[in-house]
Amino acid sequence: MAKNKQTMSRALQRREDIAGYLFMLPSLIFFLGFVVIPMFVCIGYSLTDATMHQQAATQFVGFSNFAKLFQDKVFLEALRNTFVIVIVSVPTVCAFSLWVSSVIYKLSGPVLSAFRCIFYLPVVTGSVAVTVVWKWMFDNYTGIINTALKGAGLIEKNINFLGDSKWALWCIILILFTTSVGQPIVLYVSALGNVDQGLVEAAKVDGATDLQVFWKIKWAQMMPTTLYILVITTINSFQCFALIQLLTQGGSGTQTVMYYIYYTAFKLTQQAGHFGYANAMGVVLAIFIGILSALQFRLAKEK
Amino acid sequence: MKTIRKVLALVLALCMVLALAACAGTPAETKAPESQAPASQPPAETKTPDEPGTEMADAITLWTYPIGKWGVEEEVLKMTNAFTEATGIKVTVEYLAYADGDDKVNSALSGGGAPDLIMEGPERLVANWGDNGHMVDLSDLFDSEDMSEINAVNEGVMKACTHTSGAIYEYPLVMTAHCMAINRNAFEQAGALEYVDLEKHTWTTENFIKAVEALYAEFGETVGAVYCAGQGGDQGTRALVNNLYGGTFTNAEHTAYTWDDPLNVKALEQLRSMDGIAFDASLAGGDEIAKFYQGVLKMAFCWNIAQQLDPNGAHGDPGKTVTGDDIEFMAFPSEDGTAKLQGGIWGFGIFDSKDEGRIAAAKEFIKFMCDSEHTADAVKTANYFAVRTKAGGADLSNIWADNEIMAEYNVLMPMLGDYYQVTTNWAQARTSWWTMLQKVGEGADVAEAVAQYAKEAIGG
Amino acid sequence: MKTNNVGPRATVYKVISVIILVILAVLFVFPLYWIVTGAFKPGADIYAQKPVWWPSEWVMTNFNELLAKRSAPLWELKVPFSQWFTEKHEPLVFSAGPSVPAAFRWLINAVFMAAVAMGLTCITAAMAGYALAKKRFRGRAILFGLIICAMALPKQVILIPLLKEMNFLMFTDTLWAVIFPTVGWPFGVFLMKQFSESIPGEILEAARVDGSSEVRTFGTIVLPMVKPGIGALAIFTFINCWNDYFMQLIMLTSGANFTMPLGVATLQAETSVNMGLLMAGAALAALPIIIVFLIFQKYFTQGITMGAVKG
């Protein structure tokens, strides 16, 4: 790239600069205005003791919010849960959707379409609407899951899915899972359909097993799709905010950083409105996500 | 790598600039009204009574929590339309839910979209938003006549509405005693009716335990839930635990929390040991009512007269579950059968918009609803009891005379206990309370959990 | 036992897989099934302690109750930034239509919000993606790095600064407060860059030599080639914006400005057991988005095909 630049004449470079930035401009206004600048303001806030009530002047407090953060048991639990959600849901969604697609992509047109639509349904039904139904299904007293498990003789006493810290986080992950796999399946189905058949045939002639064909050829060719899926699934896992707000309000061991930021900022607790503190959490989360995205991108690029 | 370094350098540089800006006092980005308030000025002094010359605003906003029918648009519109007709001031109403209403108000306060008027109780208006300097002092709305009319009903009301600084942040409209409820048909079926005194609506701890045992023997399932999904309806669980063996939540002066009382530990242990009672972290107060209304739970700890009149807010038959079972309201069980009930007080507060015209209009609204001939309607809309004997010359003591349920409910009112929800650090105490219930429910050592969370509440 | 070609083992595997898939399919369809039937169930079915699988009687009471619950003006629009141009420094507000059941307004709001966010994102992202992929301007690497890092950022991170900013711009409690940050989210730019990479450089070079202006080149050559990508981005943005409960929750405060998903969530908070009402709301909320999906479905699958082919 650097070489490329040198060979370009200065006038040409200027032309490219102007054209490039003019094309970027509309997007940049929104990106800088509503993502980047707030992010920097967030970093600025995190170094102060700003509160919602603002009765005294805001003080610069250095990194003390961060120091406090790592002694806050709730935050550490939230960080762990956030990590669990991402680490569990991203690979399972990818693996599951790959498996489903590999089963259905060779089926006949209408059947394929039907399956694709079905797995996409929870996405288009909307997470709020789906959550409402799941809340009823997980219900401790009249929930259909408890009724079914009891009917089958698997359990004796109803399980309090959403009120028990052994279960609640996994219930959230499960709901998140159903609202996340739709898109990856659609993507993988098309990607599998587009694998270069010539290569596959050639490998088969050379005596490669189905599994080898899959990994060596199909998987390699689907790498861009996989990258895309990794990114959207990660984005999707952060939509768990709605599930937590509607199902457990952060109780029963389902606190996540996303929810704890909101909780610290706006729930009517004694800490309510500790903006400096809440923003410090935001900064930690942003660093965590930034590294994760960069890593995903690197890994996928190198392959 | 080079790119990453450049990005990092940029980030760091910008951070420092912003941190410096924030350090300097008022960060450029905090354009919210609260930051413009002179820091040294105590909130109580910022307002003066509306003097002639202040032009009254022609439109105000009111946010209400679902307090009786003050959560039903059709009914509220009747009240606000009457007000608009009388004064020409338009009122826009938004309806909050307990599940996320507080969040909405707080986010509106930080985002600059706070309403003029808010309808709720002293634990929010006085102990929280008032304490944090967001509310307008309403002292100038009370004359000695108002005070005596209110004190004639209950002396605790004005005390609860007054901040420690002396400012009054809530103009009370209605009050009630929170109680519990039982499903009469289920009790009958389980042969447990002998344990309750349906005349006086009271029972003893011993009988409560026997009744739960009988119900559990009959139905084989949880019959009552100590709900703890959040702070919604937490007055019920507090009253249950406190009354069972006579423990207290705060001291009489409201200066300290006393719920690490061994009597409370005993009560929590007792409740946890009962088969028919479950600590349920999947339910909040509202969900518990719903389960009771559905007939699944046989008793509800989150009950009051508004629920009795309109169970679950479902507009079904008064005093009936959805399956048609009879609902009996009951005082909480206590050793000698005389419970101390938690009071509920609801009224209006005004958010400090720094706009004299809007504040004056909001005060006009309060006078109209709480201190005029229209007060009877405002009280009836709330489905609770009036906090005063007379308003604007009209007698309020008989407004519910034609309602049998209300008349019967009056037996509970003398049991009204101390209104302690305005103790310092109240918001923290509530949070600690339900978190503690969750831990206890999951099998934590009761004494330890109580000690830990009570300490958290006190320490803030 | 190793099988090279289609042996009995492979067939068994296939049959079992399909059976598992069918079971899973039932699980995935169930929520929508329950919402649609629940919306038409009478109260007795809804409150029943044992699940009622099929409405004992199809009734409209839930919808009637939903529509009677709140009212709002049919349409209101605050013109963004207009406060800086009016005399009293108050934003211009266009209001139209009679008072209607709030659910209709919520529906209109949600569709407006998601559609505008979708349109703006597609335009800005297509332009930016093209520039990032094909223009060798200085600072491009830094910008792209920033975009990658910010792509997956949850909006909760900047919750407070965003709220302050919206207050400053007088967007609080308007749909713009949800729309603009959604447009700013750089995922679309990333996606469109990936698509634009596949445009052959020679074609662009040829156009330049022919004296075609930049705008013309973009309009006549680039846009048609990345059209499938735009289709994919459109559906992704629409659905994501629609489902972004968090932004709607913090930005929209008055009942008239709610969106359908937020309205349903509020109903749940208010009447946690009135499932019928909730299901009626949820059914109304799901309808438009399913329609959008069906319309764009073709573009969607097509779009991904293109993206996958390029390496």
Cβ of C273 within 8 Å of Cβ of B290? The answer is yes
Annotated domain spans of chain B: 55-177+344-415, 179-340+425-459
Residue B63 exposed, middle or buried by CB count within 10 Å (0-12, 13-18, 19+): buried
Residue B89: CB atoms within 10 A of its CB come to 20
Q: Give me the residue label for tokens 């399932």.
A: B221
pLDDT digits (tens, 9 = 90+) for C140-199: 889 998 888 888 888 889 988 998 898 888 888 889 999 999 999 998 998 899 888 888
Residue A294 exposed, middle or buried by CB count within 10 Å (0-12, 13-18, 19+): middle
The answer to whether A183 touches A234, Cβ cutoff 8 Å, is: no
Q: Which amino acid is at B450?
A: V
Cβ of B287 within 8 Å of Cβ of C272? The answer is yes
Contacts of C128 in chain A (CB under 8 A): 23-24, 26-28
Query: Does position B314 have pLDDT exceeding 80, yes or no?
Result: no
Q: Considering Cα of B227, then B229, then B233, then B239, what sign does the dihedral take?
A: positive
Query: Does position A46 have pLDDT exceeding 50, yes or no?
Result: yes
In the prediction, which pLDDT does B171 show? 94
Query: Does position B47 have pLDDT exceeding 70, yes or no?
Result: no
Superfamily of domain C72-309: MetI-like (1.10.3720.10)
Q: How far apart are CA C190 and CA A293, in angstroms?
A: 12
Please spell the DSSP secondary structure of B125-164, one letter per residue.
IIIIIITTT-B---GGG--HHHHHHHHTT-THHHHHHB-T
Residue C135: CB atoms within 10 A of its CB come to 21
**What mean pLDDT is predicted for residues B78-104?**
89
- Give the DSSP letter of residue B221: S
Q: How far apart are CA A76 and CA A86, in angstroms?
A: 16
**What mean pLDDT is predicted for residues B255-278?**
91
In the prediction, which pLDDT does C233 show? 87
Query: Does position B18 have pLDDT exceeding 70, yes or no?
Result: no
pLDDT digits (tens, 9 = 90+) for B383-435: 899 999 888 888 888 888 888 888 888 888 888 888 888 888 888 888 889 88
Cβ of A228 within 8 Å of Cβ of C191? The answer is yes
Question: Highest-confidence range of A243-252, B136-145, C247-256, by mean pLDDT?
Answer: B136-145
Q: How far apart are CA B186 and CA A292, in angstroms?
A: 56
B12, B212, B224, C105 from B218: Cα distances, Å: 68, 10, 14, 49
Q: Give me the residue label for tokens 């698997």.
A: A154
Instruction: Give all domains of chain A, ordered by start, each with its CATH number.
Output: 64-131+166-302 (1.10.3720.10)
A53, A59, A123, C291 from A271: Cα distances, Å: 11, 17, 35, 44
Angle between helices C102-134 and C223-243 (to 10 degrees): 140
Give the phi and the psi of residue A54 in degrees, each rounded to 5.
45, 50
In the prediction, which pLDDT does C6 show? 53
Q: How far apart are CA A30 and CA C119, in angstroms?
A: 14
In the prediction, which pLDDT does A88 show? 93
Query: Does position B48 have pLDDT exceeding 60, yes or no?
Result: no
CATH fold of B55-177+344-415 reads D-Maltodextrin-Binding Protein; domain 2 (3.40.190)
Instruction: Say whether residue B318 is in contact with chain C using an 8 A CB cutoff.
Output: no
Give the phi and the psi of residue B94 in degrees, each rounded to 5.
-120, 145
Nearest beta carbon to residue C253 from set B3, B104, B293: B104
In the prediction, which pLDDT does B45 show? 38
Contacts of C277 in chain A (CB under 8 A): none
Residue A17 C-alpha from the chain's centroid? 34
**What mean pLDDT is predicted for residues A153-173?**
88
Q: How far apart are CA A112 and CA A116, in angstroms?
A: 6
Q: How far apart are CA B153 and CA B176, in angstroms?
A: 11
pLDDT digits (tens, 9 = 90+) for C59-91: 888 888 888 877 888 888 878 887 777 777 777
Q: Which amino acid is at C145?
A: G
Q: Give me the residue label for tokens 């890092």.
A: C149
Q: How far apart are CA B26 and CA B181, in angstroms?
A: 52
| Nearest residue to B225 via CA among B141, B297, B327 | B297
Which of the four pLDDT bands, split at 50, 70 and 90, describes residue C17?
Answer: confident
pLDDT digits (tens, 9 = 90+) for B347-360: 999 999 888 999 99
Instruction: Say whether residue B237 is in contact with chain A using an 8 A CB cutoff.
Output: no
In the prediction, which pLDDT does B72 show? 84
Q: Are strands B224-227 and B277-280 parallel, antiparallel or unpaired?
A: parallel
Instruction: Say whether residue A283 is in contact with chain C using an 8 A CB cutoff.
Output: yes
Cβ of A100 within 8 Å of Cβ of C187? The answer is no
A59: nearest CA partner in chain B: B23
Express as a percent the part of chain C with pLDDT over 70.
92
Contacts of C153 in chain B (CB under 8 A): none
Which of the four pLDDT bands, split at 50, 70 and 90, describes residue B42?
Answer: very low
Q: Which two tokens stand for residue A303?
A: 């392959």
Query: Does position C308 have pLDDT exceeding 60, yes or no?
Result: no
Query: Does position C114 have pLDDT exceeding 60, yes or no?
Result: yes
Which of B23, B282, B431 would best serve as a mutation to test chain A binding (most A beta carbons within 10 A)? B282
* Phi-psi category of residue B112: left, alpha or beta, with phi > 0 → left and psi -120 to 50 → alpha: left
Angle between helices A37-46 and B2-23 (to 10 degrees): 60
Contacts of C240 in chain A (CB under 8 A): 235
Residues 36-55 of A with CB under 8 A from C: 36-39, 41-42, 45
Contacts of B438 in chain A (CB under 8 A): 251-252
Three-state secondary structure call for residue B410? coil
pLDDT digits (tens, 9 = 90+) for B285-310: 888 998 898 889 999 999 988 888 88
Contacts of C99 in chain B (CB under 8 A): none
Three-state secondary structure call for residue B62? strand
Nearest beta carbon to residue C142 from set B6, B99, B322: B6
Cβ of C142 within 8 Å of Cβ of B98? The answer is no
| Nearest residue to B314 via CA among B274, B355, B349, B286 | B286
pLDDT digits (tens, 9 = 90+) for B359-383: 999 999 999 999 998 999 999 999 8
**What mean pLDDT is predicted for residues A253-280?**
84
Nearest beta carbon to residue C131 from set A20, A242, A286: A20
- In DSSP terms, B120 is beta-bridged to B347
Distance (Å) from the C-alpha of residue C57 to the closest C-alpha of chain A?
A: 21
Three-state secondary structure call for residue A25? helix
Three-state secondary structure call for residue C250? helix
pLDDT digits (tens, 9 = 90+) for A188-208: 888 887 777 888 888 888 888
Cβ of B25 within 8 Å of Cβ of A44? The answer is no
CATH fold of B179-340+425-459 reads D-Maltodextrin-Binding Protein; domain 2 (3.40.190)
Contacts of C164 in chain B (CB under 8 A): 29-32, 110-111
In the prediction, which pLDDT does B271 show? 94
Q: Does an H or E element contain C19, and which? A: helix C8-39
pLDDT digits (tens, 9 = 90+) for B432-449: 898 899 999 888 898 998
Quote the mean pLDDT of chain A.
85
Q: Are strands B390-391 and B394-395 parallel, antiparallel or unpaired?
A: antiparallel
The answer to whether B160 touches B417, Cβ cutoff 8 Å, is: no
Q: Does an H or E element contain B227, and which? A: strand B224-227
Which of A23, A142, A144, A245 would best serve as a mutation to test chain C binding (most C beta carbons within 10 A)? A23
Which of the four pLDDT bands, split at 50, 70 and 90, describes residue B9?
Answer: low
Cβ of B283 within 8 Å of Cβ of A273? The answer is no
* Phi-psi category of residue B68: left, alpha or beta, with phi > 0 → left and psi -120 to 50 → alpha: left
Which of the four pLDDT bands, split at 50, 70 and 90, describes residue A56?
Answer: low
Q: Which chains touch B (3 or more CB pairs under 8 A)?
A: A, C
pLDDT digits (tens, 9 = 90+) for B207-256: 999 999 999 999 988 999 999 888 778 889 999 999 999 889 988 888 88
Query: Does position A33 have pLDDT exceeding 50, yes or no?
Result: yes
C143: nearest CA partner in chain A: A28
The answer to whether C298 touches C69, Cβ cutoff 8 Å, is: no
Name the least confident of A62-76, B92-106, C220-234, C266-280: C266-280
Annotated domain spans of chain C: 72-309
Distance (Å) from the C-alpha of residue A246 to the closest C-alpha of chain B?
A: 9
Query: Does position B54 have pLDDT exceeding 80, yes or no?
Result: no
Stated pTM of the model: 0.86
Nearest beta carbon to residue C161 from set A1, A45, A136: A45
Which of A31, A41, A53, A200 would best serve as a mutation to test chain C binding (most C beta carbons within 10 A)? A31
Query: Does position A8 have pLDDT exceeding 80, yes or no?
Result: no
Sequence-distant (≥ 6) Cβ neighbours of residue A277 within 8 angstroms:
A65, A68, A69, A264, A271
Q: How far apart are CA B167 and CA B173, in angstroms?
A: 17
Q: Which two tokens stand for residue B300?
A: 């509800």
| Side-chain-side CA neighbours of residue C72 (13 Å) | 23
B297: nearest CA partner in chain C: C49
- More confident: C104 or B36: C104
The answer to whether C265 touches C142, Cβ cutoff 8 Å, is: no
Cβ of B71 within 8 Å of Cβ of C43? The answer is no
Distance (Å) from the C-alpha of residue C291 to the closest C-alpha of chain A?
A: 9
In the prediction, which pLDDT does C273 show? 60
Which of the four pLDDT bands, split at 50, 70 and 90, describes residue A78?
Answer: very high
Query: Does position A294 have pLDDT exceeding 70, yes or no?
Result: yes
Contacts of C142 in chain B (CB under 8 A): 3, 6-7, 10
B132, C29, C221 from C196: Cα distances, Å: 53, 36, 11
| Nearest residue to B437 via CA among B291, B300, B299, B285 | B285
Tallying the residues shown for chain C, one arrives at: 311
Contacts of A138 in chain B (CB under 8 A): 282
Neighbour-count burial for A252-262, b at 16+ CB within 10 Å, e otherwise = bbbbbbbbbbb
Q: Which two tokens stand for residue C219?
A: 């309009």
pLDDT digits (tens, 9 = 90+) for B123-137: 888 888 988 889 999
In the prediction, which pLDDT does B80 show? 94
Query: Does position A169 have pLDDT exceeding 90, yes or no?
Result: yes
Q: Which two tokens stand for residue A148?
A: 């079914």
Query: Does position B173 have pLDDT exceeding 90, yes or no?
Result: yes
Q: How far apart are CA B141 and CA B163, in angstroms?
A: 15
Contacts of B102 in chain A (CB under 8 A): 266-268
| Nearest residue to C155 via CA among A93, A170, A289, B22 | A289
**What mean pLDDT is predicted for residues C11-34?**
88
Query: Does position C3 have pLDDT exceeding 50, yes or no?
Result: no
Residue C95 exposed, middle or buried by CB count within 10 Å (0-12, 13-18, 19+): exposed
Instruction: Say whether residue A235 is in contact with chain C using an 8 A CB cutoff.
Output: yes
pLDDT digits (tens, 9 = 90+) for C188-201: 998 899 888 888 88
| Nearest residue to B232 via CA among B324, B71, B126, B96 | B96
Cβ of A44 within 8 Å of Cβ of B27? The answer is yes
Q: Which amino acid is at A231?
A: V
Q: Which two tokens stand for residue B121?
A: 């109780």
- Give the DSSP letter of residue B69: G
| Nearest residue to C167 via CA among B33, B396, B3, A162 | B33
Residues 54-113 of A with CB under 8 A from C: 99-100, 103-104
Express as a percent the part of chain B with pLDDT over 70.
88
Residue B124: CB atoms within 10 A of its CB come to 22
In the prediction, which pLDDT does B168 show? 94
Q: How far apart are CA A271 and CA B340, in angstroms?
A: 30
Residue A35 C-alpha from the chain's centroid? 18
